[in-house]
Structure 1
């Protein structure tokens, strides 16, 4: 099931592509969140508000906050949140989203040279087009399209960045195909004002390939683009259909 939490209840999803990896909806706590747990720490690059940059991760937390969230000190707030829930401070990435967590989409695919797990929460209430003149904001706002892309395999650092580019292109393609517009300019949106992404790489040598490229013309890039496209689409559409 690609939208496993649609009923909004606690649920644990076991990955088929990455043995030992789990995704859970923690909906009955005071601060609902999606938790991704990995069997071993992975190399990562991310724009997460907490645990971002180039770090080693074994947990990713996507926390729900409402649109009135006080964002004056999100890093300290997320740090306190992670500590309160017992997640390891040094190996956890924390994101925030105003999208209801039941619309989380999970897409995954095992492969001969790598296997991929993609988990997305996507809403387009603050859709925007990069490159257009528009209002900007100094303060942090909770992310609206959060993509957690986990690849079981080996990749060079340059390839990791290439994978982020491919995933971003796939996200922008979804918004184009769904006709999502920048609410301020009316142009087709390329994302939202507050998107975030976490890319994690296991370094698993069993596949026998160390990937140097992840562009759209490669097998790996094709998998990344397809799964991100499907996952972002599914999260947006499930939210739209649930409102009808």
Structure 2
């Protein structure tokens, strides 16, 4: 496990588990570049839903950011950076980029890469009474998850479920609480996740399930749980 951009001048991290996958820190954003198009499933502001992606951009904005048109803002930045609008998923985060945590796992049937930026100034518990808002706010826990394997669409949805369960478990173990009612938080009010799957024929098995009792689901759980914990260890991350 590592926070590759913390307390050093390193600007690039090359995945060991997923060859050709490169995480780069820029002044304003983290770029996760894949060597080929991935099957994507995400809650990203730009490029969300299901589609083909080969790049994920996690873009930093401060807490005074005007959230009136985040999609337009992301499109403008992608134009400036010469990023494809068709194959790039775009997220916004209010967490400083150097606090990004990375964890990877690999075995004979799949490899998993996870990068998380996490803060919890707006911790919230799903299902409890609290204040809600009609508008978008920049993300507090953003997860970029890449799986080098063959997976059905159903397994991809299952992978998202497992990742969210792992995030919630990490927040519980950290003792993070809903900012309004004091209950243990299940997330924050502004979390987002992007999943990319290679569908590589280098792996013999096609994963049809991805729950916590499967080898792949367990690996997803460990990497997400670990990166949430690691990102919160970074100095300056707001926990309340």
Distance 1:231 1:239 in 2: 15
The answer on 1:58 being equivalent to 2:59 is no
* Alignment correspondent of 2:2: 2
Q: Deviations over 1:40-81 (max 9, x none)?
A: 010010000001000100000000000000000000111111
Aligned pairs for 1:19-168 (under 5 A) are: 19-27=19-27, 32-168=28-164
SS at match of 1:35: strand
Task: Check whether the contact 2:119–2:238 (CA below 8 A) recurs between aligned residues.
Answer: no
Distance 2:96 2:23 in 1: 16
* Alignment correspondent of 2:218: 222
Distance 2:10 2:93 in 1: 18
SS at match of 2:130: coil
Unmatched 5+ residue regions in structure 2? none
* Alignment correspondent of 1:13: 13
My pick for the range that moved more, 3-12 or 120-129, is: 3-12
Moved over 2 A (4+): 7-10, 239-243
Give the total of aligned pairs. Answer: 239
Normalised TM-score (structure 2): 0.97
Distance 2:150 2:138 in 1: 31
Task: Check whether the contact 1:181–1:187 (CA below 8 A) recurs between aligned residues.
Answer: yes
Q: Alpha carbon RMSD of aligned pairs, Å?
A: 1.4
Distance 1:96 1:83 in 2: 16
Task: Check whether the contact 1:144–1:194 (CA below 8 A) recurs between aligned residues.
Answer: yes
Normalised TM-score (structure 1): 0.95
Distance 1:111 1:175 in 2: 27
Unmatched 5+ residue regions in structure 1? none
* Alignment correspondent of 1:177: 173
